[in-house]
Amino acid sequence: MSSERMQSTYDPRYEGIYQRGGATEAVSRMESPAPPAPALPHEPERPVEPSAIREVAPQGLPRQDEAVPRNPYDRWLWILAGALVALGVFFLAAPMLYEQQYMEAMTSGQPGGGYINPWYNYTAAAAPVLLLTGVATAVAQLFVLSVRHTLATR
């Protein structure tokens, strides 16, 4: 719909800068270029001394030299969680570990009478509870420590 003739004509509705080939007219109409920015004062570089280096931290963060208050029971909770998991694993494996010894003692005819239910048969009920409690304690401790860390770094 447009022809070459229409594109090269001047349209008086628009300024020359918006016309094809009219950019040169707009430059000539400009008054003067913007003044240059003032020069910044030149400061000579000073040598940096090791004692002049300072750590800068946001207001909420503690410095390295400041002691972060810690919960004294954190260590004991980790020890408790580890002990519960270890005891649960031991109680879970006790029937496999001691069954052979028990069978040898029964067949060798050691004195003591008839059948005695071995102690490790009772551990099968306690093992899952101990494992679950130990893992839950560790997960809860991780959650509390991550929340405490998040709040301390804000």
Say which residue the tokens 């709040």 belong to. 151
Q: How confident is the model at residue 88 (pLDDT cuts 50, 70, 90)?
A: very high
For residue 98, CA distances in Å to 10, 48, 63 come to 104, 71, 55
Taking residues 74-99, what's their average pLDDT? Answer: 91
Which stretch of DSSP H or E encloses residue 93? Answer: helix 74-107
Handedness of CA 48, 50, 52, 58 (dihedral sign): positive
CB atoms within 10 A of CB 84: 20
Give the 3-state secondary structure of 137-151. Answer: HHHHHHHHHHHHHHH
The better pLDDT of the pair 8, 20 is held by: 20
- pLDDT-wise least confident of 16-20, 38-42, 130-134: 16-20
Domain boundaries, the chain: 1-29, 74-152
Q: What is the pTM of this model?
A: 0.49
Dig out the tokens for 61 from the structure: 């963060």
